[in-house]
Amino acid sequence: MRIVYVLTSLGMGGAERVVRALAVRMAQRGHTVALLVLRPRVAEQWSTALPVVHLEMSRSPDSLLMGLVRGRRFLREFRPDLLHSHSFHANLVARLLRVLVPPQVISTVHNVYEGGWARMLAYRLTDGLTRRTAFVSQAAAGRFVRLKAVPQQKCVVLTNGIDAAEFAPSAERREGMRAEMGANAGFIWLTAGRIAPAKDYPNLLRAFALVRASRTDARLWIAGEVSGREFSKVRGLAAELGLDDSVRWLGLRRDLPALLDAADGFVLASAWEGMPLALGEAMAMEKPVVATDVGGVRELVEDAGVLVPPKDPGVLAHTMLEQMHRSPEDRRALGQAARARIQGSFSMDARADEWEALYRTILEGLP
């Protein structure tokens, strides 16, 4: 098969990481693969040996038009069988390109919330240009069907895959990273994700302030881009809460497995989610996890972690403290159960098998 994966950017986010991993596996299986990226190259983005074409799109109508012209030219040269797009902007552009060139289109939605009524209407009006819309969780699929953005009969749920070989715990790496980071004997909580409203860092910081009131040895590491208006707001809140000495802003990191090794627990305080990749990776690394019960989080965690309501820093803090007060043996057992769940239900290789089967079904013209 000749497959083009369409993304908004190759920036260092979870969805981009998943798509890159899937594209690499398809290339390893003998398919001809390329990446079509809407936005220009950014300073910090995932690297890949696969062919990458940037359409250089921005917000202006002229830029959109020129990007479509570039995309059409590339697709006519590449002659793909399939366009597999990811997230709102890429999904819409892939559908528009379908008008200009013949490949089949599969759209993937990575979050339970991708915008307001205008975006849902855009999905509905362009639905005829895609063969399937895939979702990373049942929660996301259910919401889009209720909003009539996607018809039930064209939905498919294929959850994110985790590479359990890449995300495997290492005692030696843990020791080395804690030494490099200057971590003492305190308890390290790690979270990872873009500094954006969906991740609800104010909820996390308020909860962590309560944790610190009881456990002064607690530390919070935050891996995510440290720039922009949203970061300035949450950094200011951390200062107001007196957390400057106990919260460490790590910026964008390519060494998440090592950071997870160094941490003692992983926390996710999101207001909404699709199925968070970083949470699954923490589970694969045998970390005890505490997460808000939003989107597809429950589908991912089940009983291999602890879930709390969103936007309730008091309950989140109480649950984090409960984990800290558990014995190391209890936390280890919870972490081992989490890794077993990832290996059993969220293997990247198994997910690649499912995607490959779906591609073949569509190309064979089956319903």
pLDDT above 70: percentage of residues in the chain: 99
Evaluate if pTM is beyond 0.85: yes
Confidence of residue 13 (pLDDT cuts 50, 70, 90): confident
Coil vs helix vs strand at 152: helix
pLDDT tens column, 33-60: 999 999 998 888 888 999 999 999 988 8
pLDDT tens column, 180-213: 998 888 899 999 999 999 999 999 999 999 999 9
- Which pair of tokens denotes residue 43? 């300073």
Q: For 191, phi and psi rounded to 5 degrees? A: -135, 155
- CATH C-level class of 2-161+347-363: alpha beta
How much is the pLDDT for 367?
66
Cα separation, 266 vs 220, whole angstroms: 10
Helix and strand numbers (H, E) in the chain are 14, 13
2-161+347-363 shares its CATH topology with 171-345: yes
CB 348 within 8 Å of CB 162: yes
Quick check: 300 pLDDT over 90?
Answer: yes
Q: How far is CA 32 from CA 2, 19, 80, in A?
A: 5, 15, 9
- Residue-range domain boundaries for the chain: 2-161+347-363, 171-345
Cα separation, 67 vs 45, whole angstroms: 20
Domain 171-345 falls under CATH 3.40.50.2000 = yes
